Amino acid sequence: MTPEHIIHRGISIVTLAASDAIDTHCAPGQTAIREQGDGWWLYFVDEDGKVDGYDSPFANHAEALWAAKAAAEFSAQ
């Protein structure tokens, strides 16, 4: 799977395959959604390149994308 990029409120949201490394495919300031064995995880890459994320997965890509867009809305304020 090729990473899929969308822009929401100026924030780049990248959907990754389980085998894709966040630090390889995401730049500082981007948000990553990655499917893993137990669901879809949401990660944020800060300006220093540090990766942080939520402590539980979402059931599907649509829920993770909604949460990523909501986070972008909050960041845009």
User: Using 50, 70 and 90 to split pLDDT, how confident is the model at 9?
Assistant: confident
Q: For residue 35, how many C-alpha atoms fall within 13 Å in the half-sphere facing its CB?
A: 10
Report if pTM > 0.75: yes
Find residue 47's DSSP bridge partners. none
CB contact at 8 A, 31 and 60? no
Q: How many domains does the chain have?
A: 1
The Cα–Cα gap between 40 and 6 comes to 17
Collapsing DSSP to helix, strand or coil, 3 comes out as: coil
CB count within 10 Å of CB 17 equals 13
25-74 tens-digit pLDDT: 999 999 999 999 999 999 999 999 999 999 999 999 999 999 999 999 88
- In the block, tokens 């540090």 appear at 50
- Domain of 56 in residue numbering reads as 4-76
